[in-house]
Amino acid sequence: MEEATLEHAYFKSDYDRPGLNYKLIDGEVELAPGLRTVPTFGHTPGHQSFAVDLPVRGTVVLACDAADLRRNIDELIPCGELTHPHLAHAAARSIERLHALDRQPHTEVWPGHDPEFWATRLSPPAAYG
C-alpha cells in the first residue's frame, strides 16, 4: 500500500474561507454548551472527534476519521489510513479512548464511514432531539 503524505491530507480549499475566524485549541475544549472536542490524533496530526450532548439520546461522539467503521470501535482496531507511520501509536491510543467512551452510560460513539452502521440511524431531526 502506498504511504499517504501530509501534502495529500490537507486541501487548503477545504478550510481557507474568507471571513472565517480561526482559533487554535489544544486538548478537549467546550466549543458551545453540549459540544466539545475529543482529541483523536492518528489519522492525521491534530485530528478531533466531537461529543454532542443530546437532551433525549445522551452523548453522541462523532468519531469522524478516527474510527471508519463500527468494528474499529468494538474491536479496538485503529483507523486504516494514517498520514504518516509515526502516528500509529497515537491512532491506537485514540481508538482506545473512543472504545472507553462508547462503554460509558448514555454515550454512543458513531464511526465516520460505516454504511451498515449509518443505515441503522434514524433521520434527523426527530430522532436525536
Question: How confident is the prediction for the chain on average, in pLDDT?
Answer: 87
Place of cell 448514555: 106
Which residues make beta-bridge pairs with 62? 50, 110
Is residue 73 within 8 Å of residue 111, measured between CB atoms?
Answer: yes
| Domain assignments of the chain as residue spans, ordered by start | 30-114
Place of cell 474561507: 17
Torsion angle defined by CA atoms of residues 51, 43, 89 and 29, in that order, rounded to the nearest 10 degrees:
-30
pLDDT 10s digits, 62-78: 999 999 999 999 999 99
Type of residue found at 21: N
Place of cell 501509536: 89
Q: pTM of the predicted model, to two decimals? A: 0.83
1, pLDDT greater than 50: no
CATH number of 30-114: 3.60.15.10
- Going 57 to 36 to 103 to 44, the CA torsion angle's sign is positive
